[in-house]
Structure 1
């Protein structure tokens, strides 16, 4: 009995030991599988798919070929964050580093009034001395800062042509930043005017090297106007805003609101510029325009801080004194008023003295009328010859000794005003200078107004009737975006852009169509163009969508290779959408495989707005609500007063 009890107890201990071993092994297996799974998932999340994870009891073994030593170390660190680092066994290898890719060579060139600086990495084979000499010639005595580093790797394809293009572009861009790689040249620059901006964009696009993409961003900053001038006239013929310089959109809104109340209904000709003498410019000009309305007519010229008002003939003295007095007290401190009643000049037997200068559309100039001396006559002839050319000048003047003081100055100012026109005439009288004609400069009226104020003073009576003719404007003469797209659609109406079967490669037989489209775009200004790709319904829808996208992109890249700036272009694939023919026939499927060009047009604002409506539409909503609340309050005050 005692032996049986001992054997029983021993058997129980053996069974318990076996169960413990089995439980321990099961626990180890669970821990091992969970650890391997957790580490593998973490490596995949970190894009280390090249690493595999094995388990050996509680140990986690990492195997695989790491692309770099740094990647191997990061994989070990990643595994050590999931399990205890002492359990991680590194069995990984590292890819042979003998074939390391060359670095990306790049130069960033900065140029401003302080000099030129170069920063970046260039191939060691680059002729650095020759590059330095070219940059120093462009700097023309200004300092050149060379911070370029070199690396001994092969020169990339198109590197030399890209650098050469960048240096040539730098010669035209005194304020610019140019970034250069072997595949792309990016140009950011500032121009002096919209005409200069258009010229530079065209020049840079046409001279871009083959195989190098081009990104151009040129801005034309706000001009500086001196003197800062606005001129408003109210006559029997209506209200005219012949010159309008503003410093803020709010100032423009106030000025146009005051002018509109007196009958000005044309589109805004205001120019936002620098040079305002005061932050209260808009308020001062608004008060001056309203004063002209209170006088019943006249002309006001605001030139910097000087406000000159010439009342209409027949204005009563008491009205004149009251209006000018109220204006002087209401104006901001930075502004002063000079006002006068009109002066009536007595006519002689031959009528008032007069000088006329006319310019024909062919460029012929005639000077006729009175001058005050032989010297003045010679000066006028020489001045006109310098402006228009001696061969185009015909003199028909005569000397008279009964002319008002300052007559010769008025004559020369009239000739200079005539040079702002494409054709027209100038009439100089004792109290008035009249300028009439056509021009291709949309700002000609403002330019002539500032000229006359500068030469004759702010109180001079100058009547300007200048018509802007779009055909005479070299910038407006460029085709409109709509015309450009219409020309492209006409070029592709009977000749399709074809591709190799099931490919985005453009067929060699239709490269001529791409060339013709590129020529059309070279004569167009910047336009938002959509290049849309379509396919037939054969094949899977997702594959067709991707193929149409790739084909549209191929057309965009082909235009870029032809030196067309494509920064505002969009390539979109629509796949099987919008079929234009029956997909059940071969002819229909052929028609549906197409590239379409269209203009990206924002939602239309409807009918053309007046200048004041345009300004008010651009105001923030909170400003409009504040203005509406002010109008309601004013209406309530009027109602309370009437009660």
Structure 2
């Protein structure tokens, strides 16, 4: 009967073991769950949501796909702070790394009057120097801003063609932004006129290489027209415009329609610009053109709000009074009318004869100018000759004028204004009379008629009778060949023979009267950018030798700096002071000392093959009237 107690004891042991096992299992699950929860919470605080922690007894299995190796390691580190790192099994994977991507090469070129800027990322190699060289040429002495970075990676397909085209566009466009990428070029630029805009667009389209996309935005801002001018004529040659200005296309269309209604034929345009004095400009122009037709011919000139109507000298007085009176009454309030019925004009064309006094100037196709006829006095004759030389060239003007003190007031202004108009022609003639001015000839500027009409209206005043008969001829193709070095120096010599460069007394500051000489030299140097020349400074023998040497160097440097200020490339120029060492005249006389005080331009010749060197005779250009 002892068996029953033994069974009961055994059962108790078994039950106790089962309870202990159950308790252990429950405790293990609780530990595992708690570990998993703490790990997930810690990972979540670090925004690691891709990792999964699975506890299996004392071990923790980490699974999931890490975006990077660094994040995988970070997940393991966080887990190791919660459970023993030795119990963590890393079963995570890492997202495969993406293949290395080539950089995006892009270049922006910005050009304006202040210089050229280069910005962007380009392939490493020789391209940087090519870009810089083109930018230097385009800047023409202005500053260059280089903000280029390079990457040692092959240029993508299409990059080289786009780059070469973009650099060509930079050379063509003086005010532009050029964005260059592989296979594409985007251009934003400003032109001076609609005609220039069309020419630039055609040039760029023709230069675009195959496979390069081109986006162009070239604008032509409306110019400010001062004075706002319209000049319309009806004579034996028919109806025509010398000048036509309008604020917008609708006004231009209205004016041209009025002109065609009274006989205008062929092509005609109006310059679109700012400065119209009244919104009723087009209406006033229509009325004036219609009145001119009713008079049978003549000219009407509108300069801002002033209208001058000059009838033919054959117009009956009664018709003239009736038509001009009606026009004056009908014009908008802001406009004023000056109507003139002129006396018959007699043209001698030689500045002589029994007719009205005349001044005559002729410009030959070779650029030679003859001045004949009458001027008021000696100062007026001197001023006329000086003005003509400034406009046409120092050695191209021949004067044969006579003095006439009886000429009317304002005669010198009429003469100088006429010469300014003549300077816009390639050849032609000018006749100035007290009541009439005539300009005839040929020009290569398509806007010359309008500019001359604007000039005459502005400077001659109201109610002036003048005739402009100027034909347009397309300019010849420019010659790319630069003058020979000897010719460049000879041209400077011609300038300096006529007038020396002078300095303020006892100073290294160039005298204001010499600025025109510097400007003329600049024009020669721009045509001879690669000719090596020396600017030599020379003094007389007064003062110490050391002081004279220093003064001559400073004055040579001053001339060089004056050229730099005018944006001349000076890489081919040097400045050197010689002091009193190389006189060209006797220092014992004032005239000799004056000749020795000078700046001399000389051609720097290649090194001779022998030791015997010959010093070139310097070309006189300079200095002061004060003793050194």
Give the alignment's TM-score, normalised by structure 1: 0.49
- State the Cα distance separating 1:325 from its structure 2 match: 3.7
| Worse overlay, 457-466 or 178-187 | 178-187
- State the Cα distance separating 1:432 from its structure 2 match: 0.9
> Unmatched 5+ residue regions in structure 1?
1-67, 70-92, 476-643
| Worse overlay, 423-432 or 294-303 | 294-303
- 8 A contact 1:353–1:430 mirrored in 2: yes
Distance 1:163 1:236, change over 3 A: closer
**d(CA) in 2 for partners of 1:210, 1:248:** 38
Matches within 5 A, 1:214-613: 218-236=218-236, 238-313=238-313, 315=315, 319-342=319-342, 350-470=354-474, 472=475, 474=477
Distance 1:453 1:206, change over 3 A: same
More helix as a share of residues: 1
Distance 1:392 1:202, change over 3 A: farther
Matches within 5 A, 1:1-20: none
- State the Cα distance separating 1:360 from its structure 2 match: 1.6
Distance 1:370 1:135, change over 3 A: closer
- State the Cα distance separating 1:457 from its structure 2 match: 1.7
- State the Cα distance separating 1:151 from its structure 2 match: 9.2
**d(CA) in 1 for partners of 2:135, 2:446:** 38
**d(CA) in 2 for partners of 1:295, 1:320:** 7
- State the Cα distance separating 1:277 from its structure 2 match: 2.4
Q: Deviations over 1:115-143 (max 9, x none)?
A: 98877656699999999999999699999
Secondary structure in 2 aligned to 1:334? Answer: coil
- State the Cα distance separating 1:164 from its structure 2 match: 8.8
Q: Deviations over 1:523-543 (max 9, x none)?
A: xxxxxxxxxxxxxxxxxxxxx
- 8 A contact 2:115–2:139 mirrored in 1: no
- 8 A contact 1:138–1:171 mirrored in 2: no
Give the alignment's TM-score, normalised by structure 2: 0.50
> Which residue matches 1:524?
none
Distance 1:211 1:392, change over 3 A: farther
Secondary structure in 2 aligned to 1:342? Answer: coil
**d(CA) in 1 for partners of 2:238, 2:128:** 67
Please give the root-mean-square deviation of Cα atoms over the aligned residues, in Å.
4.7
| Worse overlay, 109-118 or 309-318 | 109-118
- State the Cα distance separating 1:456 from its structure 2 match: 0.7
- 8 A contact 2:134–2:171 mirrored in 1: no
- 8 A contact 1:102–1:153 mirrored in 2: no
- 8 A contact 1:135–1:144 mirrored in 2: no
Secondary structure in 2 aligned to 1:99? Answer: coil
- State the Cα distance separating 1:435 from its structure 2 match: 1.2
Matches within 5 A, 1:57-136: 97-110=97-110
- State the Cα distance separating 1:396 from its structure 2 match: 1.8
Distance 1:460 1:178, change over 3 A: same
| Worse overlay, 378-387 or 307-316 | 307-316
Distance 1:105 1:237, change over 3 A: closer
Distance 1:122 1:363, change over 3 A: closer
**d(CA) in 2 for partners of 1:113, 1:416:** 28
Secondary structure in 1 aligned to 2:395? Answer: helix
**d(CA) in 2 for partners of 1:241, 1:127:** 52
Higher relative contact order structure (alpha carbons within 8 Å, sequence separation ≥ 6): 1
- State the Cα distance separating 1:431 from its structure 2 match: 0.9
Distance 1:385 1:330, change over 3 A: same
- 8 A contact 1:441–1:473 mirrored in 2: no
Distance 1:123 1:314, change over 3 A: closer
**d(CA) in 1 for partners of 2:454, 2:425:** 15
Distance 1:307 1:355, change over 3 A: same
Secondary structure in 2 aligned to 1:391? Answer: coil
> Which residue matches 1:597?
none
- State the Cα distance separating 1:216 from its structure 2 match: 6.2
- State the Cα distance separating 1:268 from its structure 2 match: 1.1
- 8 A contact 1:125–1:152 mirrored in 2: no
Q: Deviations over 1:287-343 (max 9, x none)?
A: 111122233433211112221222333555554444334323432343232333335
